[in-house]
Structure 1
Amino acid sequence: MAKANSKSLNLIFMLSLLILVSMAESRFLGFGTAAKKATPQCDTVVGVESGDTCFDIAEKFQLTTEFFDSINPNLNCDALFVGQWVCVDGTVN
């Protein structure tokens, strides 16, 4: 009986170890974790002027709308106000 319990405990231990290593490997390789969001790094900002739209600002600084949006992720283009700072040059990591 003691041998049977010992074998069961060894089996349980080995399965637990296998599961633990498997989980650690998946996290190391990037599986099973939430995808990281790109982090914008702003290098230059300008203040919004009267009548400006996001499209106008992007066009003025020769930016695509996608890039402008990516370096200004929390900007609500429907609620711009005069003097609001917007990013016009930067990178997205």
Structure 2
Amino acid sequence: MYKKFLFIILILATLGTLSGCTEPDYKAENRALMERVGELSEENIELLGSVATLEEKLEYFSAEAERLEAERNALAIELKSLKSKLNTKSRRRR
């Protein structure tokens, strides 16, 4: 998807440059636009890298949250069992 986006921007910028070749006033503007497209492309690459990093972190923390939830459930079961044993022992003492 990213490559398609850049390709479309490049085509539109090229078409704009070609259509403005006959008018000298637009040449500088077209050059500036092409430079901006390049800057945006670099920004998009950086943003895509950031998104990929964030997705990896989200995946890691989601897995960690699932692991902790399972551990919490196991501890809750163990606590319930220990309480039950304690209640049984206290009843026997009476």
Is the structural similarity TM-score above 0.5? no
Q: Which has the higher helix share?
A: 2
More strand by share: 1
Bigger RCO (CA 8 Å, 6+ sep): 1
Larger radius of gyration: 2
Q: Structure 1 length normalisation: TM-score?
A: 0.36
